[in-house]
Structure 1
Amino acid sequence: MARRTVLFAHPSAELYGADRMLLDSVRGVVAAGARAIVVLPERGPLWPLLEQAGAEVRAGDVPVLRKRYLRPHRAFGLVARMVTAVARLVRLIRLVRPDVLYVNTITIPVWLVAARLCRLPSLVHVHEAERTGRLVGVALTAPLLLARTIVVNSSAAAATLAAAVPALAGRTELVYNGVARAGGPAPPPPPSSPAPPSPAPPSPESQPRRLASSALPLPLPLPVPVPVPVLPVRPGTPARLVLVGRLSPRKGTDVALDALLRLRDAGRDVELDLVGSTFEGYEWYERQLRDVAADPRLADRVRFHGFQPDIEPFLRAADVVLVPSRAEPFGNVAVEALLAGRPLVASATQGLEEIVIADRTGLLVPPDDPAALAAAVSALLDDWPFAARLAAAGRADAVERFGLERYHDHINALIGTLAAARPEDPS
């Protein structure tokens, strides 16, 4: 039997959530004995990792569908670029002769047109669940009708697609992201106990606010008994909050900074590490964040680390991990925090509600609510044994539900079904 070839298309060479999932899909395909060819727009951090995983990587820039390009005055130029790209991609497909096309994200639909012209079965892995207007939602989603199979990473993403184009519901497969277990098979050490709050007189600029602790539900019993570890104490050390992700409004970085201000106003000895960079065109947002971080109340309490290819050291150093996204189709960082054995506070939105079992594996708070976020952090710092139980239960649940082996098996099965249905000569 000839070796199967899977052609992967992806719009980025960076190393954020969707990029990492592409890498894991490629690893699973290569481990199953298939040939993986990946087309990226340019060289970047993802490129060498794909090569290390056994993939052949090629450069091929194609139009990326963004909401800003769907405006009438830009549509003509986008269509012209897409037509040119289709002809180029058809030639590539006929040269490579893959069995399946795997398109990662909905933002490069030109690949689907080329695959349909070549009678090549295609799979689209959707990592988006954006809330948009009706017309924009249909424009972004309708090209998925050209694909044979659509993989979504959460029920929230599936619902978003079906709301825009109901016909997509029948070809959608839910596959939760697989996330590598932090620290290997052995459980990591329990989180360090942060220093207790030490009331400090507020600075003249501060306006003390009352934390909305009453908004937090009472802790529920854990589904299984989890032993409470003996926690080391670090007297005089600030509690370290960590947020990993793009610096973008969608990720709620500003919400975390607002919550930090509230915690500091309440006399909490806390600090915040921000790990991630911003999209091109969103430099204004990073400037706003840095302006807030320059507030005297936050002097030396906020650190901008930029993009980091290895986020595990930051998660392991955290006392509490924050995922305050306003929208989040899945939330790899939430799973990574759970696997690292760290207490987690996340927004009750979309895929995060599917990852976190509220008050059992982590705390959920309303999105875009810095007072609730601050209150949740306070609740964990005030009851560290409870925080440790959440972290232990969260890690056990994440290992069970979001393992890489399960993910690889599911993706390979879908690819195998598509390959079996491929016509004898796709050219």
Structure 2
Amino acid sequence: MTGPGARPRVLVVHPGAELYGADRVLAESASALATRFDVTVALPGPGPLVAELEARGLRVVLCRMPVLRNSALRPRGALRLLADTVLGALPALRLLRSAGEAGVYVNTLTLPSWPLLARLAGRRSVCHVHEAEQSAPRLLRIGMAVCPALADRVVANSRFCLDVLAGTAPWLRRRATVVYNAVAAPAEVVPARAELAGPVRLLFVGRLSPRKGPQVAVATLQELLARGVDARLQLLGSVFEGYEWFETELRGTVAAAGLTDRVELLGFRSDVWPVLAGSDVVLVPSVMEESFGLTAVEAVLAARPLVVSDGSGLREAAAGYASAQSVAPGDPVRWADAVERVVGDWDTVRAAAVVDAAEARRRHAPQRYTEQLVAVVDALTGSGPAAAVPAPRRPVEAAAAVSGAAR
């Protein structure tokens, strides 16, 4: 039990240990909660996120847990999911009782077992939703709503994300709060180069996956070259395990188009700022929904002109920035047009990007994020300012409500 004067104990749970966008947001979330609570972070395995969290003074434990991934749709993946569920249940319950006395913060809706186990352990939970699969089949959307349905409170990282969730389970809107991601800014904003001497330096940052659109970035480069625009492209990121075929396919596309000397695959780097500083224009060409758009915000924070897919949370993330253009996804002709507009009005766009960087720093300041996130968890635990928190539903009631709302 927590003794007099001790800080309430909160367990933070996250489905991975890499250092991509969602992982960096988790690090900010855990640091934010640590300003008010005694935080323990549970991860499913080792990875670079462990060192990042420990460097922030956070306690990290590894705990076997089921994580909903696309691989679970295949027999081997389904068996692994089942094994993780069964073998991870008791360790998770012990951890909830020892480190989650004040509640559990579940990061992403791919961890539905944790709110359920929290109820079994008599703990309250908050689910932080970062996914917005608006075009997913209805059955999948119902499944994705289970985690927030079982949780006592919900945090969404954008209005779009909340709207998609509420489209499946409208009653969740009553217990939800929108909190925009904290995005750490570079220590120093380096304006883009004054003159575009030599090739235009295009940059894609993100997972190498079909939905993120690196193939669109390559096609955009090809279109620019066909128009006589001297340009090069860097791809910063790596693939999910099991998607190695896509990187092979992407490299084959580059080679077949004769672009090997103009496209550079940099792989994964935990520090994106030096690469952003060496770029001229950042492309975020996702071809499917994004709940928010961390890479888009990072481009703005780095004072780089941005071309981003027009739709979903990406539109929301890029709204109000003069140096950002939203373009129909998947159309390299329009993307090349957008890049040419940047090049043709370089002085104006370059100056606007510096102004936008200051605004992005204000919007996504970690201090603002800390205050909003702590307020939500304070209300959940009852250890802070009073707030209306719906009474917990029993697991069967919650699941039935989601199913009924989606009919």
Q: TM-score, normalised by structure 1?
A: 0.84
Cα deviation for residue 385 of structure 1 reads: 1.8
Question: How many pairs align?
Answer: 378
Distance 2:128 2:168 in 1: 17
1:113 counterpart letter in structure 2: L
Provide the residue aligned with 1:222 in structure 2: none
Kindly state the Cα deviation for residue 351 of structure 1 after the two structures are TM-superposed: 1.2
3-state DSSP of counterpart to 1:132: coil
What is the CA distance between 1:260 and its match in structure 2? 0.6
Secondary structure, counterpart of 1:124 in structure 2: strand
Is 1:151 aligned to residue 112 of structure 2? no
Which deviates the most, 166-175 or 254-263?
Answer: 166-175
How far residue 96 of structure 1 moved from its aligned partner, in angstroms, is: 2.8
Residues 1:334 and 1:73: Cα distance change in structure 2 (over 3 Å): closer
Question: Alignment partner for residue 366 of structure 2, among 404, 408, 417?
Answer: 404
Partner of 1:252: 213
Match of 2:10 in 1: 6
Q: Please identify, of 84-93 and 283-292, the stretch whose mean Cα deviation from structure 2 is larger.
A: 84-93
How far is the alpha carbon of 1:358 from its aligned partner?
Answer: 6.3
Instruction: Give the structure 2 partner of residue 115 of structure 1.
Output: 118
Structure 2 match to 1:223? none
What is the rounded CA distance, in whole Å, between the counterparts of 1:244 and 1:394 in structure 2? Answer: 19
Contact 1:361 1:397 in 2 (8 A): no
Aligned to 2:58: 55
Pairing 1:64–2:26 present: no
User: In 2 relative to 1, CA 189–49 (structure 1 residues): closer, same or farther, beyond 3 Å?
Assistant: closer
Could you tell me which residue of structure 1 aligns to residue 398 of structure 2?
A: none
Task: Look up the match of 1:393.
Answer: 355
Q: Which amino acid aligns with 1:105?
A: T
What's the counterpart of residue 334 of structure 1? 296
TM-aligned CA deviation for residue 42 of structure 1: 1.3
- The match for 1:280 is 241
Q: Secondary structure at the match of 1:108?
A: coil
CA displacement at 1:54 relative to structure 2: 1.2
Cα distance in structure 2, aligned partners of 1:189 and 1:253: 25
How much has 1:119 moved relative to structure 2?
Answer: 1.6
What SS class does the counterpart of residue 183 from structure 1 fall into? coil
Distance 1:345 1:358, change over 3 A: farther
Tell me how far 1:68 sits from its aligned partner. Answer: 4.6
Deviation at 1:333, TM superposition (A): 1.1
Q: CA deviation at 1:296?
A: 5.1
Distance of 2:53 and 2:147 partners within structure 1: 27
Change (3 A) 1:153 1:97: closer
Q: Which runs of 5+ in 1 are unaligned?
A: 193-230, 423-427
TM-score, normalised with respect to structure 2: 0.88
Corresponding residue for 2:346?
A: 384
- Show the counterpart of 2:252: 291
Instruction: Give the alignment of 1:191-206 within 5 angstroms.
Output: 191-192=192-193
Inter-CA distance 70–299: structure 2 relative to 1 (3 Å threshold): closer
Provide closer, same or farther for how the CA distance between residues 115 and 397 of structure 1 changes in structure 2, counting only shifts above 3 A: same
Given candidates 48, 55, 59, the residue that maps to 1:45 is 48
Letter matched to residue 56 of structure 2? A
Deviations 1:51-78 (A, max 9, x none): 0111111111211112453579976874
> Residue 99 of structure 1 is aligned with which of 96, 102, 107?
102
Partner of residue 352 from structure 1, selected from 291, 314, 321: 314
RMSD in angstroms over aligned alpha carbons? 2.0
Whole-Å separation in 2 of the counterparts to 1:352 and 1:374:
19
1:109-258 map, 5 Å: 109-130=112-133, 131-184=135-188, 188-192=189-193, 231=194, 233=195, 235=197, 237-258=198-219
List alignment gaps of at least 5 residues for structure 2. Answer: 385-407
Identity across aligned pairs (percent)? Answer: 42
